[in-house]
Every structure is written in structure tokens, then in C-alpha cells.
């Protein structure tokens, strides 16, 4: 099945804005030492990671369905499919982000906020790469 070709620019741009806002907030939070973060800030960090991931997946799902007629079987499948279609090579980083989101949402085990904080210290290069390709093509 071929997609409808009805990729919604407003949807793409709105989700891209959500991704950028989440990255900005995560970057702000990551600039603090973990020991100096309040409990509210630690929970905010978790929430922003969920928002970031769900916005990325929502974008990928919309494009997979509307541009390519592809119905992903999972969040990881969705991200992997769009990375492959759009030539983004850092797919494993994005799949790991989806895995972290699943851990935060479903609470499979205890969450170590120190590890999350530490991982936020690295940049969001792969998310930016995917977002740039999506927005330049569909936004």
C-alpha cells in the first residue's frame, strides 16, 4: 500500500516544536549537577524524556503511514523504518531512547535518575539529525 501523500505540515511542525522544547528543557536540567536537582526537577527530567520520545515517534508514525503507507508494529519499528527511509544512520540511539521511554512509562524496574541525568549530558545529535531531515522534507 502506498501512503496517501497527505503528510500534515502543521502536525509535523507542531511535533518538531515539541521535540525542540523538550530538548531545551532537558539541556537546561542537565546543566545542573544531579546533587543540586530537586525531586521536582528529577521528575521533570523523566517527563521531558517521555514527551521528547513520544513526539519523535508520533512524527515517525505519521510519516510512515501518510508518506509510505507503512503501519509500524511498535515504537522501535516506527523509528527504525523512518531512519532507514530518510537515511539516518544513528537508529540504535533512537531505539535506545524508545527503550528508556518504555522503562519510564511502564516502570519495569527501579529507575536510576543519576544514569538518566548522566545520559542527558550527551547531546541529542541523532534526534536533531532525524528532526532536520523530517522538517526539511515534510515541514
pLDDT at 100: 86
Distance CA 53, CA 129 (A): 14
pLDDT at 108: 61
pLDDT at 114: 86
pLDDT at 59: 97
pTM of the model: 0.90
Distance CA 46, CA 103 (A): 10
Q: Which residue has the cell 536533531?
A: 128
Residue 10 Cα distances to 28, 126, 131, angstroms: 27, 23, 14
Mean pLDDT estimate for the chain: 90
pLDDT at 121: 67
Q: Of 92, 65, 97, which Cα lies nearest the Cα of 80?
A: 92
Low-confidence residues of the chain, pLDDT below 50? 1
pLDDT at 131: 96
pLDDT at 115: 81
Amino acid at each position: 500500500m502506498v501512503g496517501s501523500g497527505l503528510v500534515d505540515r502543521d502536525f509535523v511542525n507542531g511535533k518538531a516544536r515539541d521535540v525542540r522544547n523538550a530538548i531545551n528543557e532537558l539541556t537546561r536540567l542537565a546543566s545542573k549537577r544531579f546533587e543540586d536537582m530537586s525531586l521536582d526537577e528529577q521528575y521533570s527530567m523523566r517527563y521531558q524524556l517521555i514527551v521528547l520520545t513520544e513526539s519523535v515517534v508520533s512524527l515517525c508514525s505519521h510519516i510512515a503511514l501518510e508518506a509510505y503507507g507503512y503501519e509500524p508494529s511498535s515504537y522501535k519499528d516506527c523509528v527504525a523504518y523512518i531512519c532507514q527511509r530518510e537515511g539516518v544512520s544513528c537508529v540504535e540511539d533512537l531505539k535506545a531512547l524508545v527503550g528508556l521511554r518504555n522503562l519510564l512509562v511502564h516502570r519495569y524496574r527501579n529507575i536510576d535518575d543519576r544514569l538518566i541525568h548522566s545520559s542527558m549530558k550527551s547531546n541529542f545529535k541523532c534526534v536533531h539529525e532525524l528532526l532536520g531531515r523530517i522538517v526539511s522534507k515534510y515541514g
